Amino acid sequence: MTRGRALVTSPLLLGSAVAAQGEAGHTGPPEFLLPLTLLLLVSALAAYLSYRIRLIPIIGFLLAGVLVGPGALGLIRDPALINSASEIGVMLLLFTIGVEFSLERLVRIARLIFLGGGLQTGLTVAAVSAALLAFGVGWQSAVFTGCLVALSSTAIVMRLLAERGETGARTGQVALGILIFQDLAVVLMVLLIPMLAGQGGGPGGVALALAKAAGIIGFVLVAARRLVPPVMEVVARTCSTEIFLLTVVALCFGTASLTAMAGVSLALGAFLAGLLVSESRYGMQALGEILPLQVLFSAAFFLSVGLQLNPAFLLTHLPEVLGAVLLIAVLKAAVTTLSVRLLGEPLDVTLPVALLTAQVGEFSFVLAATGTALGLSFAGLGPQGTQVFIAATVLLMVVTPALGALATPLLGQRPPRPSVQAGESAGSDHGSALPVADRVVFAGYGAHARLAARALSRVGVPYSVITRSPDGASELSGRGAPVLIADYTRAGLLRDLGIASARVLVVADDDAEMTARAVSVARTVAPDLPIITRAETPDDLSHLKALGARHVLTPRKEVATGILDLLTPPDVSRAQVTQHLSEHAPVSLTPAQQAQCPHALSAAGPIVPEADVCLECLALGDTWVHLRTCMTCGHVGCCDSSKNRHATQHAHAQAHPVIRSAEPGETWAYCYEHGWTR
């Protein structure tokens, strides 16, 4: 099975092994294939059954792991391969958490994180340690156990809050602050555990480890601001999903590998990599690309947790396990209640948060594995303590939805408070600030969307844009228009944005395949959302209609005009729509410019620019650097620093020698014949 593990964790080794098997004449399936297939089948079945019985998939994965493990059906007897996959799952899970955090988000709810989370985590470690010391447990194992118990499951709690629509409520914000601090505390705990086991070198070792952690975090902060954003810009401008995904995964795995070589955990490195990406403007796009991988490997992680539970041990040691479950739940609920009340929160916020976090989190398993390998154990009970901890943790995770649901009857059906304090924005689970409610949302920002969006702004119709184009996003940001760089074919993104609350979705991608995919995904996420799109051929038109597009525009009808016909208020006439598409402020040459040459005098203006974009570049799918206006006919083309130099091409082809800068704030003009600039 060691060989199978290596195959999963290294594609190069996989290729070598396959070649070696071929040379040896072996024709059977690779050794890793059967357990990997079982992993995928069990994960899919667990997710489906969880959906049918309205259970969150994470709980389904845990139970499935128990069922197929060596202590029950025995379908997976050697969990080495799944453990390897689960390590990747932990990395990707922490990476996505890092992307969702962002340094800005940490600052925004800093009080909830560092005061609320600090109180809850610190008091839990102290209470558990004090209780165990009173019963004669060594201080090393006591503190180790306190660290294990202090952590709660970010994945489970945030999923439950999202399903209940409380992520942006006060309950969700307080819970999020506590969970963020717990996840950050993992960094210190990872460094602390070797010291508890006598491998930290005393105070000097502590100082060295803290200095190393500070150095790593300092490097991340510098890289987040200086190195990663330019790299992400270069990659994103390729508009290649493959290159972007490979870069994001390489950044995640590369940072994790560097931290591991520095003696810090893979999980911490992955979290720091997520923070790196979050500081670029491509965080949401990276999250959308990585989520499918994160879901797959997180399933492996929670399955591996379930595999560790021995049902026979649970039955024979049921009193000890149930006692541990009760003590952990009561202690954590009490400590969290005290911590949140000290923040000044009311009971209808405090109680739901306390019950939701009254369990042990997924990262405790990572700490437990590290501590066990170094000779530490849960409550100082040795190998039996490890089994008690695993059984109690799995049971607590399974009953978390029921614990969370207890808050409502205990509060007498009082609903959670939806308000948030100033400076602590609710936002979505991913921290996106893109407004979509009652707005026209453009998916894609090509030529038709660009013209229609400009015209909508002139008639007072609010809109937002989701685009994969860095140039389009920069243009919109410069005008103050709401824009998000992301892949609008991702169901999770559209769901988190609340796309169902939009007035209409305009799918304006120039690629027919992407258009069809975006329409299909949007219709799945929001069955009643009106969708407008375009088709090049009759077959495309029929296909998009079948996928659920309400209005499909064709080349026979000008697309930008058609969009405006459907979206503008009834009192805006067709003539006004056409005017909004073409109307731009007229420009003229100054008297000093007119005096430069006869060409300038005859092209003095005023002249109305035909557009505020290079339409020829748009037709080619290209971008530009600067724009120039022809002072003879109003043609707008790109400058000589741009790829296509359309302004110069037009001037030579049409014998229109005088141009004027079309950039905001610039009024200089130039004559190609006489070579002056003024």
Cα gap 491→92, rounded to integer Å = 19
Contact 387, 149 (CB under 8 A): no
- Which of 352, 387, 407 corresponds to the end of one domain? 407
How confident is the model at residue 18, as a pLDDT?
42
Same domain flag for 457 and 520:
yes
Q: Which residue has the higher pLDDT, 425 or 601?
A: 601
Q: Which two tokens stand for residue 284?
A: 């949401």
What is the enclosing helix (H) or strand (E) of 630? Answer: strand 627-630
- Which of 407, 432, 456 corresponds to the end of one domain? 407
Cα gap 587→521, rounded to integer Å = 45
Same domain flag for 349 and 373:
yes
Contact 119, 22 (CB under 8 A): no
Q: CB-hemisphere CA count at 13 Å for 414? A: 14
State the average pLDDT over residues 283-300: 74
Q: Is residue 96 part of a domain?
A: yes
How confident is the model at residue 396, as a pLDDT?
92
Confidence of residue 533 (pLDDT cuts 50, 70, 90): confident
Minimal CA–CA distance to 375: which of 133, 128, 138, 80?
A: 138
- DSSP letter for 412, please: T
User: What's the total number of domains in the chain?
Assistant: 4
Q: Quick check: 19 pLDDT over 50?
A: no
Same domain flag for 601 and 559:
no
Same domain flag for 578 and 603:
no
**Non-local CB neighbours of 237 within 8 Å, separated by 6+ positions:** 470, 471
Residue ranges making up the domain that contains 503: 440-582
Enumerate the H helices of 406-489 as residue ranges: 407-410, 447-458, 470-478
Q: Is residue 307 part of a domain?
A: no
Q: Quick check: 312 pLDDT over 80?
A: yes
Q: Quick check: 578 pLDDT over 90?
A: no
Of the given ranges (24-28, 206-210, 519-523, 673-677), which has the lowest mean pLDDT? 24-28
Task: Give per-residue pLDDT as tens, 40-96.
Answer: 788 888 888 887 887 778 888 888 888 887 777 777 776 666 667 667 777 777 777
Q: Quick check: 188 pLDDT over 70?
A: yes
- Which of 360, 387, 407 corresponds to the end of one domain? 407
3-state secondary structure 95-121: HHHHHHHCHHHHHHCHHHHHHHHHHHH
Confidence of residue 351 (pLDDT cuts 50, 70, 90): very high
Confidence of residue 159 (pLDDT cuts 50, 70, 90): confident
Cα gap 377→491, rounded to integer Å = 43
Q: What percent of the chain has pLDDT over 90?
A: 13
- DSSP letter for 72, please: T
Q: Is residue 676 part of a domain?
A: no
Same domain flag for 605 and 563:
no
Q: Is residue 473 part of a domain?
A: yes
How confident is the model at residue 206, as a pLDDT?
59
Same domain flag for 385 and 494:
no
628 beta partners: 637, 661
Same domain flag for 194 and 262:
yes
Q: Is residue 424 part of a domain?
A: no
How confident is the model at residue 143, as a pLDDT?
92
Report in angstroms the alpha-carbon separations of 187 from 54, 264, 367, 370.
Answer: 34, 9, 10, 13
Contact 645, 639 (CB under 8 A): yes
Same domain flag for 519 and 547:
yes
Minimal CA–CA distance to 666: which of 600, 590, 567?
A: 590
Same domain flag for 398 and 484:
no
Task: Give per-residue pLDDT as tens, 435-457.
Answer: 888 898 999 887 677 777 777 77
What is the enclosing helix (H) or strand (E) of 40? Answer: helix 33-52
Same domain flag for 629 and 545:
no
Same domain flag for 128 and 259:
yes
Confidence of residue 328 (pLDDT cuts 50, 70, 90): very high
CATH of the domain at 349: 1.20.1530.20
CATH of the domain at 492: 3.40.50.720
Q: Is residue 48 part of a domain?
A: no
Of the given ranges (192-206, 383-397, 487-501), which has the lowest mean pLDDT? 192-206
Phi, psi for residue 152 in degrees, rounded to 5: -120, 170
Same domain flag for 13 and 126:
no
Q: Is residue 18 part of a domain?
A: yes
How confident is the model at residue 583, as a pLDDT?
56
Contact 279, 224 (CB under 8 A): yes
Cα gap 609→545, rounded to integer Å = 37
Compute the C-alpha angle 623/225/121, nearest 5°: 130
Mean pLDDT of the chain: 78
Cα gap 318→244, rounded to integer Å = 50
How confident is the model at residue 169, as a pLDDT?
80
Q: Is residue 74 part of a domain?
A: no
The most confident of 165-174, 307-316, 388-397, 510-519, by mean pLDDT: 388-397
Task: Give per-residue pLDDT as tens, 655-666.
Answer: 889 999 888 778
Length of the chain: 678
Contact 93, 294 (CB under 8 A): yes
Q: Which two tokens stand for residue 466?
A: 């989701």
